[in-house]
Structure 1
């Protein structure tokens, strides 16, 4: 049986095995006990187990004396915006991101509309293990009401970041693949508001995924062929909770998730978003940093994880940020990875430059990332890091989130996963062969 993964960012497990209504209720009861008074927004992606978990979670929050704003099916970044728009004390998103159908999970938001920081998340996690709850008396039970349009505020904030009229004049033909997750509702609405001729695939949030939910090249071969065959100028591919975006160009070529952030940074620099640094995590491609440097903008690297990126962005008044898994973070919209920001701003970039996506992608710094993973006990990591430091003594080393080794033209990251009992090895270089060779050497040093 797979273990329930509980971290500072929430929990994730297999429904009916490691994740039950009882666990979900106790987890959100700890959440309710640790945040200020006020209503709590609850949303979910399209998974078939979402309605059941949603009913249990909303009942538990009511039992803690909390009024609940039921957003129904909504994307993760939409929940972040909605928390702020409705002056809520926090938010609960029911989603397992790109995990397979048997999984579901819970992601928590604070009153600022961002995913909880590590300190707050640790307090709730510890409260769950300690049985902390805020159950109330019979005459203090909260109520639940459905939000009539949870998407409109998010839509307006995304549109405000681009030149809407310029994009509308292009009348782009686009394809959006939401894979029956949460992204199709707002995604189609956004693209139609931008004057696009939209071919929507998997727009209905049934949770019955048409392909493996993580938006990688191997999982999107059918979608890529469809983009090329339909003469669309771009294909937008979301993960189930729509905080990640992969791109396919007009020729059916998978541009990927790393390029999503790099193109958004390119556009941000182009429109003068240069009054602060950009923030990316230690596993994100250097493409975005190279683009920023060309405009005199500093790049800061945080630990892996959306909350860590957001923390560093806020602390340094960053102009832009995100993670290389297809998650741009625009402070003008919210400190949450956002596929809708990516769609709108890439279309804006295409409209401003008059260039097709294939050309824009080819003009990015050409780097290759290679990734491996191995089942290694976390207790072995200190010894592994020491062996790596001794072997790669010419590298600039950074610790705190695994071990990151940086050279002038390449880097290697070895870290324990936050969501799986594995160690990840990630390298980037000018060629995939060189990046793979770095990972192979590191893999050979995992065991003495």
Structure 2
């Protein structure tokens, strides 16, 4: 039986094993007890177990005296916008992101429409373990109301960030692969509003994934062929809850997720979003930082995790941010990774420059990432980090989220997993060989 993964941002597990209706109800009861007064938004991705969990969760929140706004199937960034638009106390998004079909999960939002920060999330996690709940009397039970159009406000906010008429005038032919997750509902609507000729693949949110749900190159070979064969200008590929976006160019070449953020940063700099720093996490490619530097904009790096990026963006009044897993974060829309922001702004970049996606991608700074992992006892990490710092004494060392070593535009991140007894090693350099050599050197020092 797999382990239920509980973190400061929510939980994730296999339905019927570690994630049961009872677990979900107790978890959201702890969440409700920690929130200020007000309704709570509940949404879900397209997974087949979503309706069952949504029913249990909405009933539990009603039993805590909460009114519930039922958003139905909606993307994770849409839920963030809806919290603010409906003046809600928070939101529960039911999704396991890119995990396989047996999984589902719960992601928690605060009243500001962003994923809970670490401190707030830790209190709810601890409350769950302590059995905290605030069940109410029969005459205080809350009510559930379905939202008539949960996507409209998000659509408007995304459109407000671009030159809609310019994009419409290009009449781009595009393919969107939502893989039967939550992204097809707003994704197709957005692209049609932008005047695109849309081929929508997997738009129905059935949860019956047509391919492995994480939008990586090996999982998108069939989609890449369809983009090229269909003479599309771009292929947009979402994960199940649509907070991540991978790109395929007009030749059917997988551009990937790291390039999504770098292209969005390129476009942000082009339109003058230079009044503050950008924020990326410690495992994100330096491509975005190099683009920002060309425009005199500072890049700050947070600990890995969307909540950490959002925290640093808010604290430093960042102009833009995101994570290299295909998740741009535009503060004009919300502090949530957003595939719809990515789609609209990449199309805007193509329209402004008149360049095809392949050329725009080729013009990005060239960097290569290599990833590795090894089994290790977490108690050994301090000694390992000390050995690494002594060996790589010429690097700029940062701690707090594992150990991050920086040499110019090259870097090595070594950090313990939050969910497994392993250490992850991620390196980026000018060539794949150099990136791999950094990981290999780190691996050789693990048990020195």
Q: With structure 2 as the length reference, what TM-score do the two structures score?
A: 0.99
**Structure 2 gap ranges (5+):** none
Q: 2:418, 2:401 → 1: CA distance?
A: 10
Q: Is the 8 A contact 1:42 1:91 kept in 2?
A: yes
State the 1:419 CA deviation: 4.4
Q: 1:186, 1:173 → 2: CA distance?
A: 17
Identify the residue that residue 443 of structure 1 maps to in structure 2: 443
Summarize the alignment of residues 126-141 of structure 1 with structure 2, pairs less than 5 Å apart.
126-141=126-141
Q: 1:244, 1:2 → 2: CA distance?
A: 25
Q: Is the 8 A contact 2:286 2:409 kept in 1?
A: no
Identify the residue that residue 283 of structure 1 maps to in structure 2: 283
State the 1:373 CA deviation: 2.0
Q: 1:378, 1:427 → 2: CA distance?
A: 20
**Is the counterpart of residue 271 in structure 1 residue 266 in structure 2?**
no
State the 1:421 CA deviation: 4.2
Q: Is the 8 A contact 1:7 1:419 kept in 2?
A: no
**Is the counterpart of residue 257 in structure 1 residue 257 in structure 2?**
yes
Q: 1:416, 1:22 → 2: CA distance?
A: 31
SS of equivalent residue, structure 1 residue 161: coil
Q: 1:88, 1:420 → 2: CA distance?
A: 35
Identify the residue that residue 341 of structure 1 maps to in structure 2: 341
Identify the residue that residue 9 of structure 2 maps to in structure 1: 9
Identify the residue that residue 90 of structure 1 maps to in structure 2: 90
Q: 2:422, 2:11 → 1: CA distance?
A: 17
Summarize the alignment of residues 370-389 of structure 1 with structure 2, pairs less than 5 Å apart.
370-389=370-389
Identify the residue that residue 213 of structure 1 maps to in structure 2: 213
Summarize the alignment of residues 185-334 of structure 1 with structure 2, pairs less than 5 Å apart.
185-334=185-334
**Structure 1 gap ranges (5+):** none
1:414-448 CA-partner distances (Å, limit 9, x unpaired): 11223444321100000111111111111122223
SS of equivalent residue, structure 2 residue 120: helix
Counting matched residue pairs gives: 448
SS of equivalent residue, structure 2 residue 38: coil
Q: Is the 8 A contact 1:417 1:424 kept in 2?
A: yes
Q: 1:58, 1:87 → 2: CA distance?
A: 18
Q: With structure 1 as the length reference, what TM-score do the two structures score?
A: 0.99
Q: 2:433, 2:20 → 1: CA distance?
A: 44
Q: 2:419, 2:246 → 1: CA distance?
A: 21
Summarize the alignment of residues 349-364 of structure 1 with structure 2, pairs less than 5 Å apart.
349-364=349-364
Q: Is the 8 A contact 1:174 1:196 kept in 2?
A: yes
SS of equivalent residue, structure 1 residue 92: strand
**Is the counterpart of residue 160 in structure 1 residue 149 in structure 2?**
no
Identify the residue that residue 99 of structure 2 maps to in structure 1: 99
State the 1:377 CA deviation: 2.7
Q: 1:92, 1:417 → 2: CA distance?
A: 25
State the 1:376 CA deviation: 2.2
RMSD of aligned Cα (Å)? 0.8
Summarize the alignment of residues 69-84 of structure 1 with structure 2, pairs less than 5 Å apart.
69-84=69-84
SS of equivalent residue, structure 1 residue 88: coil
